[in-house]
């Protein structure tokens, strides 16, 4: 289902304008990025490039997701791709499913997904989902705190 979303172009421009570092560093420095006990705080500050994120995704530590979900016409292009800690993949999918259900009920017809970063990490610290209807009151806002 495609959804007319005015903020998608702005999202792509923001992501493209931020640039991506091409320098590589030891992904292993992010030892605390491993999924572990609930009392261990995740830290992805050392992950600064797409290549480092892809390496951690290959190890199962991160999951590749589209910022603007395919359910809403989000393209699978580098500017729309991010990586999140694997233990949050199910929560991200539940948020998207909730919004899809609201679209099907005509409760929302617009979507904005905003990643927020810490420092120059390539991994977002949080994802903020905001869905609303252009002609009706109310909105859905969910924040996924990642690290």
Question: Given this model, what pLDDT does residue 25 score?
Answer: 33
What residues have CB less than 8 Å from 90, skipping those under 6 apart? none
Can you list the alpha helix ranges (DSSP code H) found in 23-79? 50-58
Question: Given this model, what pLDDT does residue 38 score?
Answer: 53
| Torsion over CA: 49, 68, 115, 100 (sign) | negative
pLDDT by residue, tens only, the chain of 147 residues: 444 433 333 333 333 333 222 222 333 333 333 334 455 678 999 999 999 999 999 999 999 999 999 988 999 999 999 999 999 999 999 999 999 999 999 999 999 999 999 999 999 999 999 999 999 999 999 999 999
- Domains of the chain by residue range: 7-145
Total-model pTM: 0.72
**β-sheet bridge partners, residue 131:** 111, 140
């Amino acid at each position: 289902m495609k959804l007319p979303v005015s903020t998608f172009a702005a999202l792509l421009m923001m992501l493209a304008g931020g640039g991506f570092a091409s320098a590589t560093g030891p992904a292993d420095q992010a030892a605390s990025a491993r999924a572990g006990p609930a009392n261990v705080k995740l830290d992805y500050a050392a992950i600064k490039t797409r290549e480092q994120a892809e390496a951690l995704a290959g190890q199962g530590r991160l999951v590749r997701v589209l910022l603007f979900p395919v359910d809403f016409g989000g393209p699978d292009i580098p500017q729309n791709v991010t990586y999140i800690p694997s233990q949050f993949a199910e929560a991200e999918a539940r948020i998207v499913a909730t919004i899809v259900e609201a679209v099907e009920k005509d409760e929302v017809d617009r979507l904005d997904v905003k990643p927020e970063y810490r420092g120059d990490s390539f991994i977002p610290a949080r994802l903020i989902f905001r869905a609303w209807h252009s002609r009706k009151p109310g909105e859905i806002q969910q924040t996924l705190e990642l690290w």
